[in-house]
Structure 1
Amino acid sequence: MTEMPLDEAECLRGIMARGELQPVFQPIVDYRARALLGYEALIRGPEGSALHRPDELFAAAKRCGLALELEHACREASLRAFAQSNLSGRLFINVTPGCLCDIRMLNGHTRELLGELGLAPNRLVIELTENQQITDLPGILDVLRHYRGRGFQIAIDDLGEGFANLRMWSELRPEFVKIDKHFVQGIADDRIKYHFVRAMQDLAEICNASLVAEGIETAEDFACVRDMGIACGQGFFIARPLASPARHLSAAVVDALGQSRVAVGPGGGAAGKLPTARTLLRPVVPVELGSSNELAIARFEADPTLDVLPVVNGSHPVGLINRHSLIDRFARPFRKELYGRKSCELFMDQAPLIVDQHATIQELAMMLSFAPRHYLFDGFIVTANGRYLGIGSSHALMATITEMQISAARYANPLTQLPGNVPINEHIDRMLVSRQSFVAAYIDIDDFKPFNDTFGYRRGDDVIQTLARLICESCDERLDFVGHIGGDDFFVIFQSADWEMRCWQLVCDFSEAMQRLLGDDEAARGGYMVENRRGELTFQTLPRLSVGAVRIDAGECDSHREVAAAASIAKKQAKKRAKEAASHRSPGSLFVERRRIGCAPVAAAKLLN
């Protein structure tokens, strides 16, 4: 590496004047669309110099009092390189608080530069970094609101690294919030990090923001972030920053997206089993990039039902033309003569909502809720591996969601609000179709009826609701499906590797909870006195759990009926063991069917008998 010249300031000015700043771009994947959302612009100094690394470059600029000059030069270099590379999607530009309020940021130069480069403001995301103390938060909020009013979107960087961005989040309501890589790296194996990010996700849903998980470096962390429902991801596993970055997802990322576990809860399941973007697809012949505005108007006039017209470059979608916006523009005097023969690119939305055909209805709804309001009217473009298929409307999406919500409410258990028999069966069938191994656990309360008869149905409902809460707490919400069959019977579909330990923990936790529901004397004795049918007082043990579990491997069963039959047999064995162990004050029983479950007709008949 070459040595730094004695005059750092002169060297820095020379680098900026000669255009030696080297922008690189790191792709950001949109999990819900299964495509690239856009790129973050990063900067490097001259190759082989002491200022090649960005930390050294900006540290030298700070020492020389040239930090703002360098930041402005970096922004312009990044915008020019992004436009020259003709990259699609959004561009995330890092801006410090000091630069944001600088007069050179507010004098209209950025708007003029975007016009010169042909970049629409809605494709730019101002990413506010917290690497310097914020001294004028109200002023920064005003400036950001100004930019948002001009079409720019806002992102807050490194959530979790400092405290100022938490206040920024609550007051500004940015469109994107980036999670600091500390909380993302190793999240697949760190429950504390997982719950921290889960809390951030809850905040994001309340604030209508999309989370971007930074620092994803392994397939395991990529899958964990995806299964949590985080909107976007960024990191070396997806792609490294390059001057000429990837324009499509790599084979490794596509493979990781395709190997998702069967999702838990509404919207989970294999493609085609539940509604997806392809379900809402309407095939519309697109226009090619470079086609004239006259052609676009002719298409709208020929089809009164056509509200938007997709624009493609080859087979890849690049824009969307809104019917009313285009016609309104050409209704003004001389507009047809001035712009009729010009490219339709002039008036199209250059950042339309693009989704993969396998995106679920819930993912679509989340994307629309986080997107600018005009997407509700324009709808979305549906693709397959980045290639145009058709368009979908928000109206059709809302109708489908309403239908699904009515169906979900019909099949939920009214006491616990957990999924009932129909959703349980549907989830089991999804697991079987996906050929995923899982464990089916049938959970039942022993001696519940005497308790219910003695203390009343309200106390009985308390016991059932307590058990529902404990089951949910003992399961991994990313992997395990919890259902309520009815009464005191529950069903869990485990994908967690440590499912057996979770079952034993549940048995012990329920035993402790039952002791807390009664008085100290009953808890000490392990039961209570109850009157039998002959009017005699007898001792009754406290309710305990019996759990029957059976492992189902790929190809072993054909339907949920066979799985339920096998789990029911296991539960009966657990209850039998519980009776034998009752005198030993056992907290409950877990029976695991270790034998392989055969599902040929003869074997199935044996199970049912």
Structure 2
Amino acid sequence: MISGASDHYATSDILWRELTFGNRELVGKVIEALRQQRSLVLVYCLLEGYQEIAATAGTRRASGLLAQVQEALVRLVPSLHARVKLLAVKNLWNGAFLVFVSLDGGVLAEERRQLSAALVVLLEESLKLDVLRLGGRFPVFQFGSSSLNDKAGRVEELIYQAVQEAQAELSELSPAVLQALLLEFEAAWQQRRLKITYEPVFSLVDTSVLGWEARLNGPGYFGQQEMLFALAGRVGKLNALEASYHKMALEHFALEDFKGRLFLSTAPFFAPKEPGVARGETLRWPGYKSSTPENLVLVIDEPWQAQQMPLFGRALEYYGAQGYTLAVRSHGISMLPLASDCRFQFLKLSPFLIRGVNVNPRKKALLEALLAYGRRLRCTLVAEGVEDKKEFLALANLQLDAAQGPLLSRLRKEEIAPVKRFTFPRTPTRGHSISIGRIADNAVIVEKDTLVREVKAILEEHETLDGVVVVESGYPVGLVMRYHLDRYLGLQYGVPLYFNRPISSLMDSSFLAVEEHTPIEVVSRLAMKRERLRLYDWIIVTCNRKFRGVVSVQTLVDTLTRLQLEMARGANPLTGLPGRVGIERELLRRAEEGKDCTVVFIDLDNFKSYNDRYGFEKGDRVILFTAHLLVQVTRKLGSEGDFVGHIGGDDFVIIASPERAELVCLRFIRYFDRLIRRFYRPEDRAAGGVKSVDRQGREAFFPFVSVSMVMVEEAGSVYHYDIRRISEAAAEVKHYAKLLPGSVYLRVKRRE
């Protein structure tokens, strides 16, 4: 028995009293499992040095660590093996834990120890960072186990005896203790029973699949990649296992014909060296179908200690020089700022960083700092190991770039749609826009079989030229930007490898191309969704899919800024919707296009009484809700380009196509009347309204806020798009509509 473990024998007496007089839930679970004739195993886990951690970090933080250990046990036990079912985890609050599990069939003593060893391996890997932060060292767990099936007596006595037996068996993990597990691991490896699965990495911008992370797993206790690599590290075969993992991942990725990038974990250079294994050689395996390494993302863990930083930087330089895309997996250890001189394209946030982000404000603040840091470095930020839907929603609201994990692998694509902050559109859907074709510039074009050295000569001759477009029969098929070409040629052996090859071997065939009539707002959204390496690439403009010209990101941003400054002069400061100036411009645009339209005036009834009762702040919330609902209904049910404006106060306007205007009005009234009740207190909802003072100073009862909508048809052909004449036509009908009870919509009678 390990020295110091004797302190925990007092726990048995405390547990006995609790089982006898208090905790009957645990006793009930054990009775039910015994009734089902399942094998019951108790695993006793003891965190070594917990008393020192508590003395150094303080009782509160040490108690938080114990809660994290308990959470990890609850999460890890069900994933150990298909036979294993978790019954309960008991935190003894002194660094010790009781884990009760049930299994199908009989369990021999050797199998019981194997289960315990597998659990401790995963536990030490999972809690490495948590314990390191508080105790300054990696976690070491002592463990013992016992069976409950071979004992007689009351259930309380069975548990008591099992705890004493497990305490007597306490030991650390050692090669001897791990022997059975290691033998099974070696057999699974040699018999090629390990396999590769691919976990999708989803973009939280447009829900597309950015790539696939290769995960190594096997039978029995080896269902998790972390277990396999932890065992390989303990027997000095980490790099050999990595080589097998890389080769299998590359081979299957090519055979399955996956689209997107392949993410591969790789050991940094501070992993122990193994004879006969050359690091990185398997990445050159000829079975990988890509002609360039940029679609292969090597994931390297952030170093755990400052003295490992030079080797970490050397690993990034080594793989970067070969053209690989690099990802750094951050655990929030604060070593990452030391890597500011290293170049990497993805910053992966480990499960430790994201777990509990929806309820932990400190962790959220840490994530926000990492997000700002990564974006400064122009990295794509990816959250790993997403298991909880609330955590996923919190990550999406932080505007993370991408995520992966068990939850996302199960969800349908439409369920992964990003959660946006509650904002209102600052621009109309199509109003004031110009088409991308109006700002397109000419570009140098080359054929697919043009040699790389010829393209390089063209770029050197024209210093201000940022790139060339590759065309075939007038259709764009590729894009070559100067900085991408220089990156390839600047690699070790880049010039002899690529210089005399056709430009088609290096061109980007996944460029962004849009038709010339596309509004620049739409193009801007598409351009900003691109991965960061391509963020500043040209946008190719086409006419009936044939090459028309290019637009640089700088030109696009400058044009958008100019338009938004013009629009801001007429935007409503509360809702951000276009005001009077914007409404007039939209009518002018429709007049120029010769399109007739229907103008709908919207006014809130009983709104003053609501303001008097609830105050202006809550009144503003009703205005914001109305604006948001108008925009959503118009977008969903109106025609493309329909416009929503805010005249001021509680007055709004819709400029819609004649054939869709009535449907928009009907549906808006239905949604508004159903949802407006939420803005009232329960007693006012029950009463159907509020008591307030009318304009004559008399107390009166006012029903819920309702809406009056007045449609002016043929705003172009009859009223010649003149907002003054349209408003005058609506005024009389609007006054009549407000006299009617509830929400209504009315038409202005057509003039003969």
TM-score interval, normalised by the smaller of the two chains = 0.5 to 0.7
Q: Is 1:471 aligned to residue 626 of structure 2?
A: yes
Structure 2 residue 458 is matched with structure 1 residue 299: yes
The gaps in structure 2 that reach 5 residues or longer are: 1-82, 84-110, 112-178, 303-328, 375-379, 637-642, 657-662
TM-score scaled by structure 1?
Answer: 0.55
The residue aligned with 1:534 is none
| CA distance 1:476–1:406, change in 2 (3 Å) | closer
- 2:223 matched residue in structure 1: 55
Aligned in 2, Cα 1:577/1:292: closer, same or farther, shift over 3 Å? same
Correspondent of 2:532 among 371, 395, 412? 371
Name the SS of the counterpart of 1:404 in structure 2: helix
Show the counterpart of 2:71: none
| Matching of residue 606 in structure 1 with residue 711 in structure 2 | no
Aligned residues: 486
Q: Kindly provide the CA deviation profile for residues 270-316 of structure 1, in whole angstroms up to 9, marking residues without a partner as x.
A: 7x995576666556465566742222034336766632124589978
CA distance in 2, matches of 1:491, 1:217: 39
| 1:385-534 to 2 correspondences below 5 Å | 391-414=550-573, 416-421=575-580, 442-445=602-605, 465=620, 467-471=622-626, 483-491=645-653, 499-500=668-669, 502-504=671-673, 507-508=676-677, 526-527=692-693
Kindly state the Cα deviation for residue 527 of structure 1 after the two structures are TM-superposed: 0.8
The answer on whether the counterparts of 1:300 and 1:323 sit within 8 Å (CA) in structure 2 is no
Q: Choose 1 or 2 for highest CA Rg.
A: 2
C-alpha distance in structure 1 between counterparts of 2:420 and 2:345, whole Å: 28
Q: Distance in 1 between matches of 2:189 and 2:561?
A: 56
Deviation at residue 406 of structure 1 after TM alignment = 1.6
> Match of 1:606, SS?
coil
Structure 2 vs 1, CA of residues 170 and 279 (structure 1 numbering), >3 Å: closer, same or farther? same
Say yes or no: does 1:322 pair with 2:482. Answer: yes
Q: Match for 1:39 among 207, 211, 218? A: 211
Tell me if structure 1 keeps the 8 A contact 2:354–2:383.
no
- Opposite residue 606 of structure 1, the aligned amino acid is K
How has the CA–CA distance of structure 1 residues 268 and 216 changed in structure 2, closer, same or farther, with 3 Å as cutoff?
farther
Question: Alpha-carbon deviation of 1:398?
Answer: 1.2
Question: For residues 484 and 541 of structure 1, what CA distance do their matches in structure 2 show?
Answer: 28
Instruction: Choose 276-285 or 399-408, whichever is displaced more.
Output: 276-285
Q: CA deviation at 1:156?
A: 2.9
Amino acid across the alignment from 2:672:
C
Equivalent-residue separation in structure 2 for 1:58 and 1:559 (angstroms): 72
What whole-Å deviation, never above 9, does each CA across 1:493-532 have from its counterpart, x for those lacking one?
997998556422565567779x9xxxxxxx98521685xx
CA distance in 2, matches of 1:136, 1:541: 60
**SS of corresponding position for 1:177:** strand
CA distance in 1, matches of 2:672, 2:749: 27
2:271 to 90, 98, 103: 103
Measured in 1, the distance between the counterparts of 2:223 and 2:487 equals: 50
Instruction: Say which SS state the counterpart of residue 526 (structure 1) adopts.
Output: strand
Equivalent position to 2:263, from 80, 87, 92: 92
Question: How much does 1:17 deviate?
Answer: 6.3
Contact 2:386 2:392 in 1 (8 A): no
Q: Are the equivalent residues in 1 in contact too, given 2:426–2:578 (CA < 8 A)?
A: no
For 1:4-48, what per-residue CA distance to the aligned partner results, in whole angstroms no more than 9, with x for missing partners?
Answer: 9x97645654665687765455666768789x66421334668xx
Change (3 A) 1:568 1:71: farther
Given that residues 275 and 361 in structure 1 are in contact (C-alpha distance below 8 angstroms), is that contact kept between their aligned partners in structure 2?
A: no
What is the one-letter code of the residue matched to 2:279? Answer: H
Q: Secondary structure at the match of 2:740?
A: helix
Match of 1:591 among 744, 747, 750: 744
Residues 181-220 of structure 1: pairs in structure 2 closer than 5 A: 200-204=395-399, 209-212=400-403, 214-215=408-409, 217-218=411-412, 220=414
Corresponding position of 1:360: 522
> CA 1:139–1:412 in 2, change beyond 3 Å: closer, same or farther?
closer
Give the Cα–Cα distance (whole angstroms) in 2 for the partners of residues 313 and 29 of structure 1.
33
Q: How many angstroms apart in 1 are the aligned matches of 2:196 and 2:254?
A: 12
Does the CA-based 8 Å contact 1:445-1:489 persist in structure 2? no
Q: Which residue of 2 aligns with 1:138?
A: 333
Distance apart, 1:327 and its partner CA: 12
| Counterpart for residue 60 of structure 2 | none
Q: Give the corresponding residue for 1:126.
A: 299
Match of 2:368 in 1: 170
Secondary structure in 1 aligned to 2:743?
A: strand
Residue type matched to 1:42 in 2? A
Task: Measure the CA separation in 2 of the matches of 1:313 and 1:162.
Answer: 52
Q: In the alignment, is the contact (CA less than 8 A) between 2:467 and 2:479 conserved in 1?
A: no
- 1:55 Cα shift? 3.0
Aligned to 1:576: 739
* Cα displacement (A) at 1:442: 1.8
Q: Report if the CA contact (8 A) 1:475-1:502 is conserved.
A: no
CA shift at 1:203, angstroms?
2.3
Supply the distance in 1 between the matched residues of 2:667 and 2:181 (Cα, whole angstroms): 58
Give 3-state SS (helix, strand or coil) of 1:469's partner.
helix
SS at match of 2:223: helix
Shift of 1:221: 3.1
Cα separation, partners in 2 of 1:287 and 1:414, compared to 1, 3 Å? same
Q: After superposition, what is the alpha-carbon deviation per residue over 1:301-343, rounded to whole angstroms, capped at 9, x for unaligned? A: 676663212458997856623079749979xxx9989974355
Tell me the secondary structure at the aligned position of residue 344 of structure 2: coil
Match of 1:153 in 2: 346
Identity of aligned residues (%): 19
CA distance in 1, matches of 2:222, 2:665: 42
1:141 to 1:339, Cα distance in 2 relative to 1, 3 A: closer
Q: Which structure would you say has the larger RCO, counting Cα contacts within 8 Å and 6 or more residues apart? A: 1
Please provide the CA RMSD for this pair: 6.6
The TM-score, its normalising length taken from structure 2, stands at 0.47
> Is the CA contact 1:267–1:274 (under 8 Å) kept in the aligned structure 2?
no
Q: Return the alpha-carbon distance in structure 2 between the equivalents of residues 511 and 24 of structure 1.
A: 52
The answer to whether the 8 Å contact 1:361/1:401 transfers is no
Query: Does the residue aligned with 2:454 lie in a helix, a strand or coil?
Result: helix
Residues 469 and 181 (structure 1 numbering): CA distance in 2 closer, same or farther, change over 3 Å? same
Secondary structure of residue in 2 paired with 1:155: strand
Does the CA contact (< 8 Å) of 1:282 and 1:392 recur in 2? yes
**Aligned partner of residue 567 in structure 2, secondary structure:** helix
Q: Is the 8 A contact 1:39 1:91 kept in 2?
A: yes
